[in-house]
Structure 1
Amino acid sequence: MSQTTANAPATMQAVVCHGPEDYRHESRPRPSAGPGEVVLKIGACGICASDVKCRGGAAMFWGNDSQPSWVQAPVVAGHEFFGEVVELGEGAGRRAGLAVGDRAIAEQIVPCGECRYCDSGHYWMCEVHNIFGFQREVADGGMAEYMRVPANARLHRIPEALSRADAAFIEPLACGIHAVNRGDIQLDDTVVIAGAGPIGLAMVQVARLKTPKRLIVIDMLDERLRLAERFGADVTLNPGRDDVGARVRELTDGYGCDVYIEATGSPTGVRQGLDIIRKLGRFVEFSVFGKETSVDWSIIGDRKELDVRGAHLSPRTFPVAIDLLARKRVTTDGIVTHELPLAEFEEGFRMATAAESIKVLLIP
């Protein structure tokens, strides 16, 4: 028998992706929970840079001559969500350790559980790779009043003490934690984080907890650099004003940084990193790019023998993110800048790319 709250509505409002530049605020049937499934009443859903790039028609989402479309439209958008459990399908409470009324969050990927990556424990690299808000065959995303979480999703309970902003920021923070972990930061390292967007600013706080020798943050917006300083950056640099290469080499006896985490999503951020990282350094690539990036690969091999590491999603870091927020070792103060009603999603997407905002939340 399923468990549910009383008087559940038959329909709900949602932001539905129909195609590039074709997102609509619509009325849709409210989902219900099958065996092992959970229905959440969404508390908030953040707008991610990948949402913006998907809406803009980036080839990595919609395909081109060499690859098919990854997005299965029409689909309810959004993967930075949290909500209150309002319905538990048969067996779901035992599986997830949840009860009706609990606050919960699901990781953004819904692993198939059958491919070689899932079978070996590397579920975040699942070959099928269904992610909320992009592939409708598994489940719609969180830009809606309600959302069905399938039985094979990875659910986590959220403490009641966490604010709405904190709960909505768990997913971005979890991604930032994974990227920082991939950098394998040591106590005597000079670390550069390029890009002080929402996840970049999360990375700054997490990297500071690793206590490197020096933490440098690079961004084109001084307002974000001031926030990075508040979060623990030792040095901040604006490429529009500062000679980044000269300054980093000056701070490192001419060698360059030990760890470079690329979170700009811009080709210039990649080339900049290859220039300022030292020989045998660790280059972490986190960004989702809207277009192809070209670099001189001889820098990676012949000239510097770099350790280049990708960072994808947030494997096993959701509990860490929840704990850091609960213990107030990481804050969303200054990062979550705007909250808008779901119906105003058009303005939300505009603000998500504006200089005056950092993280924008849609509130059903």
Structure 2
Amino acid sequence: MKAVYTAAPGAVEVREVPTPTVGPEDVLVRMRACGICGTDLGFVAAGGMPYLGQPIALGHEPAGEVVDVGARVTDISVGDHVVVNPMSAPSGIIGNGGALGALRELLVIENARVGRDLAIIPESLPFWLAALNEPMAVAKHLVNRGAPLSSESAVVFGAGPIGLGAAIWLKLAGVSHVVVVDVVRARLDKAIDVGADAVIDSSNEDVAARLMELHGEAANAIGMPRPATDLYLDAAGAPSVLQTAIASAKWGARLVMAGVHKQPELIDTGQMMIAELTFSSSMGYPTEIFEVTADLIAHQERFAKLVSHRIDFGDVESAIELAGTPGATDKVVITFGP
């Protein structure tokens, strides 16, 4: 069977690897879809995971069909459609330095337990859309870390899949007004399409001034006028995002960072103090991986708008190159078979 690994920096390798064997408590899943994540692209650019110093198996956004089950498995059947929790694999996180990646034809789920390692999904949910389960869990955890209230206003920086997912979750949670900030017009249009109330093009608009127009005026602890925005979510990872949020924060505002900042950032702690700004971070999905599944099923039409490209596994190398081209795609999902 074929599996995708990082190779030299900037390249991937499709390898022939042994077909996995199924232990008594394992499940074998034929991959039917797997999303390409920005993390994958980072591993490709580095030629693997930097601290491992060696190539790694790629892919951590899987959806597929069960084709074999171990003798002791009782609650999963051949033919079940499933989404997978890549963080629960005993051999290491799937596609993030563990022994296995999901960009392969067959994936063994070791010691498989429903609700921990995988969730069974209805056949009405297309596999390419089910592959959003993992990134939407990331987006949901980002929103959960911000603990939004329905009476509040929020701004999301970055209109990639995580930022757009966060905007969807904020609106599904009933947040009164959600703004999305980006510099790519097509992505801002997509933000409106998935339910954001307004967008800001930070390449030609003053973000703080526009937020004040949209959310009203408040103040920090020493009475300086600030937008009445309650919650700032960073899904961009750009230095300007933290600087803008901190300088704009009213008294008691909250800032949650999920965007990956590749270099240490200088932040203005004085501005944070006079806003009593709560600054936290978000990574992964401690509980959300299958909490999001029912909403993904219920709101398929909205989440489907995040996927811009579906590309067959046979063209995986060109798909990864396309996904890494700035501004060329939203979400790229690799599909396997019809």
**TM-score, reference length from structure 2:** 0.88
Match among 73, 92, 95 for residue 130 of structure 1: 92
Q: Which residue of 2 aligns with 1:115?
A: none
Letter in 2 for 1:145: E
The residue type paired with residue 196 of structure 2 is: A
Tell me the equivalent position of 2:57: 76
1:282 counterpart = 2:254: yes
Aligned-residue Cα RMSD (Å) equals 2.2
Give the structure 2 partner of residue 191 of structure 1: 154
SS in 1 for 2:209: helix
* CA deviation map 1:47-85 (0-9, x unaligned): 1011111211299x40xxxxxx1x474432000111111
**TM-score normalised by the chain length of structure 1:** 0.82
The separation in 1 between residues aligned to 2:9 and 2:109, in whole angstroms, is 25
Structure 1 range deviating more: 29-38 or 291-300: 291-300
Percent of residue pairs identical: 28
Q: How many residues get paired? A: 323
The answer to whether the 8 A contact 1:58-1:290 is kept is no
Of the three residues 186, 195, 205, the one matched with 2:168 is 205
Return the alpha-carbon distance in structure 1 between the equivalents of residues 25 and 9 of structure 2: 33
Structure 2 counterpart of 1:267, which letter? Answer: P
Counterpart CA distance in 1 for 2:268 and 2:6 is 37
Closer/same/farther in 2, CA of residues 146 and 18 from structure 1, 3 Å limit: same
Where do 5+ consecutive residues of structure 2 fail to align?
Answer: 218-224
1:50 equivalent among 39, 44, 53? 39
Whether the 8 Å CA contact 1:19–1:73 is kept in 2: the answer is no
Which residue of structure 2 aligns with residue 182 of structure 1? 145
**TM-fit CA distance, 1:223:** 1.0
Superimposed CA distance per residue, residues 194-227 of structure 1 (whole angstroms, 9 cap, x where no aligned partner): 1110121111111011222321110111111111
The equivalent residue for 2:234 is 262
Shift of 1:265: 2.1
8 Å CA contact retained: 1:280, 1:305: yes
The amino acid of 1:336's aligned partner reads V
CA distance in 1, matches of 2:316, 2:158: 25
Q: In structure 1, what is the Cα distance between the partners aligned to 2:60 and 2:226? A: 40
**Cα gap change, 1:199 to 1:145, in 2 (>3 Å):** same
* C-alpha separation in 1, matches of 2:124 and 2:55: 36
After superposition, the Cα gap between the structure-2 partners of 1:56 and 1:298, relative to the gap in structure 1 and judged at 3 Å, is: farther
The equivalent of 2:78 in structure 1 is 100
Contact 1:206–1:330, Cα closer than 8 Å, also in 2:
no
Find the partner of 2:199 among 226, 229, 236.
236
Matching residue's letter, 2:148? I
- In the other structure, the counterpart of 1:169 is 132
What is the match of residue 220 of structure 2?
none
Instruction: For residue 329 of structure 1, report the CA deviation from its aligned partner.
Output: 6.5
Q: Mean Cα displacement is larger for which, 24-33 or 103-112? A: 103-112
Identify the match of residue 247 of structure 1 among 210, 215, 230.
Answer: 210
- Secondary structure of the residue that 2:251 maps to in structure 1? strand
Classify 1:291/1:330 alpha carbon distance in 2 versus 1 (closer, same or farther; 3 Å).
farther
Using the alignment, how far apart are the partners of 1:323 and 1:24 within structure 2?
A: 35
Deviation of 1:306 (Å)? 1.6
- Distance of aligned partners of 1:46 and 1:225 in 2 relative to their CA distance in 1, 3 Å threshold: same
Q: How many Å separate the matches in 1 of 2:165 and 2:295?
A: 11
> Which among 55, 66, 79 is matched to residue 85 of structure 1?
66
Question: For 1:321 and 1:19, how far apart are their aligned partners in 2?
Answer: 36
Flag structure 1 segments of 5+ consecutive residues without an equivalent.
1-11, 63-68, 113-128
1-side partners of 2:172 and 2:301: how far apart?
9
For residues 156-195 of structure 1, give each alpha carbon's deviation from its aligned partner in whole angstroms, at most 9, with x where no partner exists. Answer: 1111110122211111111111111111111221100111
Q: 1:142 aligns with which of 98, 102, 122?
A: 102
